Every structure is written in structure tokens, then in C-alpha cells.
Amino acid sequence: MSHLKTDNPVALQALMSETLFVSKKEEVAVASRSGNVVDETKGGEGAEFIYQGDKSTGILFILRYPDYPYFSPQAEEAFVKTLGALHLSFKNVAVVNLANPHNPNDFKRIMQFFEPTKITLLGVEPVSLKLPDIAHNAYMKGRVATVFNTFSFEEMFADVQKKKMFWNEFKTFINS
């Protein structure tokens, strides 16, 4: 199998409309628009996820964007700026889009695969993952990870007050 290389995730989405299955030994890496190799599909026992970034750091962002591989262009720019303001980048966080039909919408499998200590739900209702209700811009500490529930970037673009509430609480959450 030859390796497809592109730096445009939207092009990949347009080209690959079928579900892909990856064998245990095979790994596929796709370059993001920034040129960093950040998307990974890993095969193996248990859950398989298509995600962006590095899962080994324990910081996970969960979103549900059906129209994009991860974020809209405007949301991606805001996300990168938000990470940069806290000295983070795609090199030290993981992002998973649950709108991708390949990714299981199962919190237990997410926890097993990513092994996160800090999880941010960007516009994903906790109830959809069978989690207790968590107010927006609030977090719940579990045995292994703390879950921060906040708005999607589109909701924050539409309401500056939501953006301010997010930023103040998110800084506290990430730095705790």
C-alpha cells in the first residue's frame, strides 16, 4: 500500500468517503495543514481512533464537527491561538472528532485508548458520552481524569460573553 501524503485535511475528507480499516501492525500518518505529522490511525486490540496530535501528554480535546475533519478553518485558528497562549500546541495535546464515523462515541473506550488526565469537551454534551451533567465552563474531577465542559468555538464566536467565560475557566483548568 502506498502512503498518501497531503497537507489539506478537507481534501482527504473529500477523497476518502469510505470507512477505512487498519491492520494491527499498520499505522497511517497524515500531515496536517501546518505540515506537522499529527493525524494517526492506530490498529490493535480494543478501540481504534482517528485523532490529531499527541495522546501521550494526557491532554485531550473532544469535539463533534460533522462538516470538518476536526475544526472549521476559523475554529482551528482560534484553537491554535488558544493553545499557544497557554504554551501548548498540537505537539502536546490530542484532538478527537466524534463526528468521524470511525471514532466510537464511548467514554470508556476513549479513556482506555487516550489515557487522559485532562479532557475538554468542546461543544459535546457530557450526557452524549453517558457522563453526569456538567455545567458549561465547569469541570468534574473523576478518579483518573478531570473533564471540562465548554462551548464549541462557533458558540463562542457568536457570543463574546461565552468566550470570556471559557477563557477564564480554561486557564485555571489547564494550569491546575
pLDDT of residue 13: 53
pLDDT of residue 44: 33
End-to-end CA distance of the chain: 44
pTM: 0.74
DSSP letter for 41, please. E
pLDDT in tens, 113-162: 999 999 999 999 999 999 999 999 999 999 999 999 999 999 999 999 99
Domain boundaries, the chain: 53-175
Joined together, the cell numbers standing for residue 67 give: 462538516
The pLDDT confidence band at residue 48, using thresholds 50, 70 and 90, is: confident
Angle (CA) 19 56 81, round 5°: 85
Nearest CA among 145, 173, 150 for reference residue 162: 150
pLDDT in tens, 67-96: 999 999 999 999 999 999 999 998 899 999
Domain 53-175 is in which class? alpha beta
